[in-house]
Amino acid sequence: MQQSSAILCDGCGQPAGPGHIARRLKRLENMTRYRPIHVQALFLAATGPAADTDYLYSALGDFAGEGAEILRALGIEVSGRAVEAALTEFQRRGYVLAYVLECAQANGSAAAHREALQQRVFATIARIRRSLKPKRIVLLGNELTEFVPQLAAANLEATLILREGRPFEWNELGDRLLTKELTAPLEAL
Ligand SMILES: [Zn+2]
């Protein structure tokens, strides 16, 4: 029972030291600030970015990495605008970005990473059902492909938005792509 005294991080389920927990709490605090009461769309990706500045809600001065990508795909203007203004628009539209593993996985093989995702998907489904309660779920990144059937069968009372039956790829999120995808099902509901 080597890990009996280790704390398990509530964001990723991994044994975590004080540094890991502190980073997790900071990200959670930043995300909570912009969490809408009613979630129109949940953007769900596999694993939080390694750099805190690439995490949408922790952007400093400018958006970078995945944070920048998702805003671009949604047509949310960032240039000449404070980070807070763009995040407020994201919130006002009822959007939330979440990860199956909220924390980047520091070490470990692809297989270990996949296993961590598999172990965490149940907790993610519970979080969606009890807390986030989105109307739509947009899956991002091919790491989530294997979980599509599980999420579709989970009775989440949300429309799963996919591209040809698969999650959207980060590298194919063009300008306003997600805006187009989100307006179509919205009209159909
Ligand atoms: Zn964690």
Contact (Cβ atoms closer than 8 angstroms) between residue 170 and residue 140: yes
Euclidean distance between CA atoms 183 and 68, whole angstroms: 21
Q: From ligand 1's centre to the CA of 175, what distance in Å?
A: 31
> Is 89 within the bounds of a domain?
yes
pLDDT band at residue 185 using 50, 70 and 90 as cut-offs: low
Q: From ligand 1's centre to the CA of 14, what distance in Å?
A: 6
> Is 2 within the bounds of a domain?
no
> Is 84 within the bounds of a domain?
yes
Mention every residue, 6+ apart, whose C-beta is less than 8 A from residue 68. 62, 78
Q: From residue 57, give the alpha-carbon distance in Å to each of 2, 15, 138.
A: 35, 24, 18
The whole-number average pLDDT for the span 39-43 is: 95
Tokens of 145: 């492909």
- pLDDT on residue 184: 66
> Is 1 within the bounds of a domain?
no
Residue 154 structural domain: 7-188
Angle between the 177-188 and 65-73 helix axes, to the nearest 10 degrees?
50
Q: From ligand 1's centre to the CA of 94, what distance in Å?
A: 25
Average predicted confidence (pLDDT) for the chain: 90
- pLDDT on residue 176: 75
Classify residue 90 as exposed, middle or buried by CB count within 10 Å of its CB (0-12, 13-18, 19+): buried
> Is 127 within the bounds of a domain?
yes
Q: How many domains does the chain have?
A: 1
Q: From ligand 1's centre to the CA of 80, what distance in Å?
A: 33
Q: From ligand 1's centre to the CA of 103, what distance in Å?
A: 4
pLDDT band at residue 177 using 50, 70 and 90 as cut-offs: confident
Q: From ligand 1's centre to the CA of 101, what distance in Å?
A: 7
- pLDDT on residue 5: 62
- pLDDT on residue 189: 44
Q: From ligand 1's centre to the CA of 59, what distance in Å?
A: 19
The whole-number average pLDDT for the span 77-85 is: 94
136 closest CA partner among 99, 181, 75, 71:
181
- pLDDT on residue 96: 97
Q: From ligand 1's centre to the CA of 28, what distance in Å?
A: 11
